[in-house]
């Protein structure tokens, strides 16, 4: 069973949270509510999220301050943040949002289709990265087993290498399709994230190829680091 991604919705107004849930329910992912910046930071301590939708205008800790805390934490600094605001204060206000670490900045009232499409891209990228981490973990296990079997004069477990290769090929195919989908997108952050994913996949493929029978012994078999 494929695990669902979690999306964090941060807004001090219950009616806004309800509207966001209605818009994003079609994505069939896990939607988590937070009614303040403090509540959002607490949720981020225990759960991993694919993307954060963060209201700018909140009493107490506003969206900018909340984003600053998120970006200072090693665990959460790479989570994409989409700022939502009902007030347009001009270029300076928008620049402050991007400077705080936002990947996008949307003014209310927003187009539900546009918001859903933007969020779905980051959910896809998150799921691909989760798959990549699983493949990397299997590869590291294979490298360890291969090292032990080599020391004992045993045979290389070729079957597991073939299984890993097949799984990696499926992820590579999905990542390629996603990159083509983003070719005409103006969202530079999503394109950059997809490119980073492809680089990690390339490193993982090279490491796996080095384990194949007949591979050049001088080829590095070090898996990509997270």
At 203, the pLDDT band (50, 70, 90 cuts) reads confident
- Min mean pLDDT across 21-25, 28-32, 57-61, 97-101 is at 97-101
Where is pLDDT greater, at 118 or 135? 118
Whose tokens are 């981020």? That residue is 44
The burial of 159, by beta-carbon neighbours within 10 Å (0-12 exposed, 13-18 middle, 19 or more buried), is given as exposed
DSSP code string of 114-153: HHHHHHHHHHHHHHHHHHHHHHHHHHHHHHHHHHHHHHTT
Joined together, the tokens standing for residue 92 give: 């300076």
Domain residue spans of the chain: 6-110, 123-209
What would be the CATH architecture of the domain defined by 6-110? 3-Layer(aba) Sandwich (3.40)
What integer pLDDT is reported at residue 151 of this predicted model? 45
| Spatial separation of the C-alpha atoms in residues 182 and 187, rounded to whole Å | 8
- Min mean pLDDT across 26-40, 63-77, 199-213 is at 199-213
At 98, the pLDDT band (50, 70, 90 cuts) reads low
| Spatial separation of the C-alpha atoms in residues 58 and 62, rounded to whole Å | 5
* Sign of the alpha-carbon torsion through 20, 24, 28, 29: negative
User: Do residues 9 and 53 touch, judged by C-beta distance below 8 A?
Assistant: yes
| Spatial separation of the C-alpha atoms in residues 46 and 30, rounded to whole Å | 15
The predicted model scores a pTM of 0.66
pLDDT at 150 over 50: no
| Spatial separation of the C-alpha atoms in residues 72 and 105, rounded to whole Å | 20
User: Do residues 25 and 72 touch, judged by C-beta distance below 8 A?
Assistant: no
- Is the peptide bond preceding residue 109 cis, with omega within 30 degrees of 0? yes
Give the CATH number of domain 123-209: 1.20.58
Q: Under DSSP, is residue 7 helix (H, G, I), strand (E, B) or coil?
A: strand
The burial of 150, by beta-carbon neighbours within 10 Å (0-12 exposed, 13-18 middle, 19 or more buried), is given as exposed
User: Do residues 82 and 104 touch, judged by C-beta distance below 8 A?
Assistant: yes
């Amino acid at each position: 069973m494929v695990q669902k991604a979690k999306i964090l919705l941060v807004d001090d107004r219950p009616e806004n949270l309800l509207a966001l849930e209605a818009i994003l329910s079609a994505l069939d992912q896990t939607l988590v509510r937070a009614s303040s910046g403090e509540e959002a930071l607490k949720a981020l301590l225990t759960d991993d999220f694919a993307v954060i939708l963060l209201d700018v205008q909140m009493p107490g800790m506003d969206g900018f301050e909340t984003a600053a805390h998120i970006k200072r934490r090693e665990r959460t600094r790479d989570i994409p943040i989409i700022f939502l605001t009902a007030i347009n204060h001009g270029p300076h206000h928008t620049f402050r949002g991007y400077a705080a670490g936002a990947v996008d900045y949307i003014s209310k009232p927003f187009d539900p289709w546009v918001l859903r499409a933007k969020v779905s891209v980051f959910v896809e990228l998150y799921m691909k990265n989760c798959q990549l981490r699983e493949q990397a973990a299997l590869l590291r296990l294979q490298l360890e087993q291969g090292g032990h079997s080599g020391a004992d004069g045993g045979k290389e477990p070729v079957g597991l290498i073939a299984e890993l290769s097949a799984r990696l090929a499926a992820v590579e195919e999905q990542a390629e399709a996603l990159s083509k989908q983003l070719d005409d997108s103006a969202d530079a952050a999503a394109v950059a994230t997809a490119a980073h994913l492809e680089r990690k996949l390339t490193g993982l493929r090279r490491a796996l190829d080095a384990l194949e029978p007949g591979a050049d012994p001088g080829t590095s078999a070090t898996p990509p680091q997270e």
